[in-house]
Structure 1
Amino acid sequence: MGSKVSSKMAAPTARVIQAVRPHAPLIKFPNRQGVPKPNAAAPPLISRPHVPLTPIPGTPDTLASIQLLPARYRRRPLSADEMDYIQRGGPE
């Protein structure tokens, strides 16, 4: 009886396998064979000149603008337990 069930199941499976089309990739990545890879093991360049930070154009945040934010956009205050957990670097 078990062989009848498996033969009944095998026929539709064979039809499904025949109906599956070959894979066609939907995403195409550019060919980067000629682009040199960065050397992550190389030490950072110390001789690079220091570039001062430039402020981002626009109005700076003020305490009043932060207080006007709706509650859903405000940062949730941390409890003392959460601050201790962060200060010690995670679980003990």
Structure 2
Amino acid sequence: MAAAGRAIVQAVRLHSPLIKFPNRLSDPRPNVQEVLKMGVAAAQQSSGTHSSPMTSAPSPLIRLPGTSDTAATIRDLPQRYRRRIVAPEEMEYIQRGGPE
């Protein structure tokens, strides 16, 4: 019966965060069209220097008919299809590992 009166003590380990959110507020947002053009130009340049069939340049991009993917189309999406914005407090809560 002496063991029943003892308090149960649990050791709490320090939290090591598994998720890290990068600070992207200071990074400039890339323009998708410019990035695609640079990728195609780099692929064309590299195809001239390498003669191996394994490193051949990919076929040129083909535009599919329909609505293009622009900021305007994303802005016009209904709220239920938009990505939810994560608040800084929620990011800190996630990094901290939940309630303390």
TM-score if structure 1 supplies the norm length? 0.31
Greater fraction helix: 2
State the structure with bigger RCO (CA 8 A, min sep 6), 1 or 2.
2
TM-score if structure 2 supplies the norm length? 0.29
Structure exhibiting the larger radius of gyration computed from Cα positions: 1
